[in-house]
Amino acid sequence: MELSSQRRHHRRFEVSDIDGTFQEPLDASVLNMSLAGLAIETTSRLEVGGSYSFRVHKEGQEFQFAGCVMWCEQDGTARDASGRDIDVYHAGVEFGDILTRDAAHLQELIAEHAVLEPGQKVEGKFLSGELEWTSTAVGVGFDVCRLSHTGMIVEARAQVLPGQLVDFQLSPDAFELSGTCRVAYVESCPDEPNALLVRIGLEFLVLFGRGRDRLDNYIDKLIGFESVIRGRNLEA
């Protein structure tokens, strides 16, 4: 009985119409900024149209700004800590209408710390000065392919590594579920071997709120639906 319960607990169910987002760490430095957006340098190839957030630290406070990637181009190479050549990208991020509640602080930071680029008018771009910037990508979407009590398999255009911890949130259209998971593996999708789309195995570590109950209830519904279909097939 215990073995049967364990098998049921670890079963993976194929699902559709479930999507979500997770945060993907991004190592980036700010080249310049204005009230309209940022120009950044990064070793990650950013997806044009993707949403990202950028955090700036000042006197123990942290302010966050969100933006959309408008363009991303390779701009040479660099050597990493192990001496390998890696691609370097420059990207343009536009704030648009998706500035966060800290937007007012951006204007203050520019006024206090930024300096004009030579030959630029006041409304032009500004250099970021000595501010300490960190950044984390947000809104990296994924589609759930398989789901179990212990994890899920998703497809996403993301750059994550095995062992990495990521926060996630499923779309409330299916059921509310959010938490932290560990990347178990990353592999290319067979249908798009040359694209950024990858298949990612995720192991649930922490489920926020009543996430465990919601997940168990959802999978119980899948098991019940599967039993009904099996019964109808037997009757036929």
What's the rounded Cα separation, in Å, for the pair 21 and 65? 18
Instruction: State how far the Cα of 127 lies from the Cα of 186, in Å rounded to an integer.
Output: 37
Q: Is the per-residue pLDDT at 14 higher than 80?
A: yes
pLDDT higher than threshold 60 for residue 201:
yes
Domain 2-21+140-235, CATH: 2.40.10.220
**What local confidence, expressed as pLDDT, does residue 223 receive?**
79
Average pLDDT for the chain: 76
Its pTM stands at 0.59
Q: Return the SS3 of 38.
A: strand
If you average pLDDT over residues 5-13, what whole number do you get? Answer: 58
Selecting from 1.10.10, 3.10.620, 2.40.50, 2.40.10, what CATH number does the domain 23-137 have?
2.40.10
Region 224-233 average pLDDT: 58
Res 147: pLDDT: 92
Q: Where are the domains of the chain?
A: 2-21+140-235, 23-137
Which of 73-77, 109-113, 140-144, 165-169 is predicted least confidently?
A: 109-113
Is pLDDT of 5 > 60? no
Per-residue pLDDT for 233 more than 70? no
Q: What is the DSSP string of 47-115?
A: PTT-EEEEEEEETTEEEEEEEEEEEEEEEEEEE-TTS-EEEEEEEEEE-TT---TTHHHHHHHHHHH-E
Q: How far from 228 is each of 17, 47, 63, CA to CA, in Å?
A: 21, 42, 52
Neighbours of 184 (CB within 10 A): 13
